[in-house]
Structure formats: C-alpha cells, structure tokens
Amino acid sequence: MRFLLLPLSIFYGFIVGIRNKLFNWKILKNKTFNIPIICVGNISIGGTGKTPHIEYLIKVLSNKKIAVLSRGYGRVTKGVRFVKEDENYLHVGDEPLQIKQKFPKVKVIVSENRRKGVQEILRKFPETEVILMDDGFQHRYLNTGLNIILNNYEKPIYSDYLIPFGGLRESINSLKRAKIIITTKCPKLNEEEKNYISKKVNLQKNQLKYFSSIEYDKCRNLISKTAISNLKGYNILLVTSIANAHNLKNYLEHNQNTVNHLAFPDHHKFSDKNINDILTKFKDNNYDKNIILTTEKDKVKLTNFIDYFKGINIYYIQIKVNIQNYKKFNNEILKYVTNYKREL
C-alpha cells in the first residue's frame, strides 16, 4: 500500500521545486550576514551524522570564536535560547546540549528561525568569528557561505525518494547548492567505489567530495565520568534513542560482547516508566560484568534520571569522525573562514 504515497511525493516535489526556483530567481529573498557561516545539512531525514561532523569542525576551528546554531529539535520551548551546560534537554534539545557539555567554551544557540538566531548571536556575542549551523540546508531565507551536505553510505540519497514515499526533503538536484558532499558512515572504499558514489550524486566540477567513517572511542561512567577503554567481555544492555543503532550493536557484538538492545525512537523523551523498564531489564541479567551502555546523545537525557542509576554501572560511548584526506578537508574549512572578507 506504500505506493499510494507516490502521488503525494510527486506533489511535494513540485511544491519544493517551485520554492527553490523562487529563491533562485530572487523573488524570495535571503539574508546575508557579515560573518562566515558553515551549514552541515542533508536532504534526507535524519541519521547522516550531522552532530558528530559539527563536533569535528569545532576541533578544526578550535582557535576561532565559534557559535553553533541549531533548531533544537524536540524541545518544548520556542524562540531563541542560549544553551547552558546544566540546561534541561527538554528546553533546548538533546544534540545542542550534547555539544555544549562537550565544548563548554563554544556558544550554542537554538532557534527555529535561523535568521533570527544569527541576529541574536551577533547582538549578544559580537566577537564571534564563525557560525556552524547544525542542519538548515533547507532554510534558504538565510544565506550560508559554505554548505556541506552529508550522504549516508548505508542509505544513499540516490537510492531514496521524496517524502512521504521516501525520506528525501528535496530532490537530488538541490545538491548543486553545496560546495562539499561528504558520504558518511563508510567502510573502507577503493577508488572505483568512490567514483561510483560521486557519479551517482552527480558531483559537479566545482564541488568537493569526501568520505568519512565513525570510530567508537572510550566509554565513560554516567555519574563518575571514569573511563573504560576496553569493553571486551562485558554483558551489555544497550539503550538507544537514535535514528540507527545498527552499527553500534554490530561493533559491540564483534567485540565479543553479549548485547541486549532496548531501542527507542530517535529523540525519544524518556519517562519514569521507561527508566524503570530499563532497570528491570538490567537486573534480570544474572551475569558478571553487567553494564548499561548508551550513546552520547542519550546521555544528556538520562542524566535527568541520575538518582535512579545510583549504584548501577551505566556508561555512555563516545564517537568521533574520521575524514579521509582530512588534511585537504581541514585546509578547505580554514581557508574559507580565514579568507572571508568581513565588511568593516
């Protein structure tokens, strides 16, 4: 019955196409601000790894005064909010809070209106040297100087369809607005495979292609922050509310772990009942070396229930992005920010 959604996808594509044409023809106006803005976005719904790539850019630009602008998906508030480290994720969203706690010196702002968000950044933090926008490729009322689009290797955009039949926000032709296209979550690829992907996304001569992978790093205790460097041999209750935990589960099982997985929807708001269910499941495992393991994104949400986990071995696993040909990529980012000509 899913095919019945196809006419809706065609109609949706027509509307989005007209909107993009109106921007291209300057009938709908976008706003350019006097500061370099890098947008890390996608044309598909979730699961491409935007937040880990924002964190990568923060490290590349560590000598700059950075502000991160996000919608704050799933928050219960509206308007512009400046994220604090001790914020409740319900007020700002899980991913913005994750970034703020990981990089306390970085200014993190949430605003569903990106133009207003930039205005508030420049008003309150005029010393800001670069803005990183977590998602927002479709927010064309704001002119971003450098667009980076992420293409999930496991669910490539060229094998998908427009919503609601598929998961694309706009057609693959919109990739022409991007300067850099990164295919994410890649295994080791040879040149033939890379060229195939570049051909399928119709890479233009003025565009740059890169390939990235996710590396699982240390696990830290949710309460004490002490680290486990080697998970081998642990019996793990894996608790996630992310778009796709398949790779993480495979990694843990490949590491000779016994894994029971409690999967919740992406950006799930945990309840007291959820926490009690997690603890019941954990206590039912009569094994040595039992731990609960969650993601960095879920860590900021489960912290709200810290009292429930006293005396429980609960950890979160950290991840980092590896970009092939990273020196060239880093130089491209630094060159854009350094050479940006601000009006005095």
CATH number at residue 147: 3.40.50.300
User: Mean pLDDT throughout 284-299?
Assistant: 86
User: Mean pLDDT throughout 297-306?
Assistant: 95
| Cβ(70)–Cβ(338) below 8 Å | no
- pLDDT band for position 258 (50/70/90)? confident
12 inside domain: no
The residue segments making up the domain with residue 273 are: 215-320
Q: Are residues 203 and 235 in the same domain?
A: no
Q: Which residue has the higher pLDDT, 46 or 36?
A: 36
Which of the residue ranges 69-78, 183-192, 251-260, 266-275 would you say has the lowest mean pLDDT? Answer: 251-260
Cα(50)–Cα(181) distance, rounded to whole angstroms?
Answer: 12
Q: Please confirm whether the linkage preceding 36 is cis (ω < 30° from 0).
A: no
pLDDT at 344: 44
3-state secondary structure of 107: strand
Residue 118 pLDDT exceeds 90: yes
Q: Are residues 43 and 173 in the same domain?
A: yes
Q: What angle do CA 155, 157, 160 make, to 5 degrees?
A: 80
Domain count across the chain = 2
Q: Are residues 83 and 127 in the same domain?
A: yes
Q: Are residues 114 and 260 in the same domain?
A: no
- pLDDT band for position 287 (50/70/90)? low
4 inside domain: no
Which among 68, 71, 74 is positioned nearest to 90, based on CA atoms? 74
3-state secondary structure of 45: coil
Assign residue 219 the CATH number of its domain: 3.40.50
130 inside domain: yes
| Cβ(215)–Cβ(259) below 8 Å | no
3 inside domain: no
User: Mean pLDDT throughout 261-268?
Assistant: 93
Residue 342 pLDDT exceeds 80: no
Q: Are residues 170 and 221 in the same domain?
A: no
Residue 343 pLDDT exceeds 60: no
User: Mean pLDDT throughout 183-193?
Assistant: 95
Which of the residue ranges 1-10, 175-184, 190-199, 323-332 would you say has the lowest mean pLDDT? Answer: 1-10
Q: Are residues 169 and 42 in the same domain?
A: yes
What would the pLDDT profile of 90-99 be if each residue is shown by its tens digit? 999 999 999 9
pLDDT at 286: 64
Q: Are residues 174 and 69 in the same domain?
A: yes
149 inside domain: yes
7 inside domain: no
106 inside domain: yes
Neighbours of 21 (CB within 10 A): 11
Q: What angle do CA 180, 181, 187 make, to 5 degrees?
A: 135
Which of the residue ranges 76-85, 269-278, 281-290 would you say has the lowest mean pLDDT? Answer: 281-290
Q: Are residues 162 and 275 in the same domain?
A: no
Q: Are residues 242 and 163 in the same domain?
A: no
Q: Are residues 258 and 281 in the same domain?
A: yes
Residue 217 pLDDT exceeds 70: yes
Q: What is the pTM of this model?
A: 0.95
Q: Are residues 291 and 326 in the same domain?
A: no
6 inside domain: no
Q: Are residues 256 and 334 in the same domain?
A: no
Residue 243 pLDDT exceeds 90: no
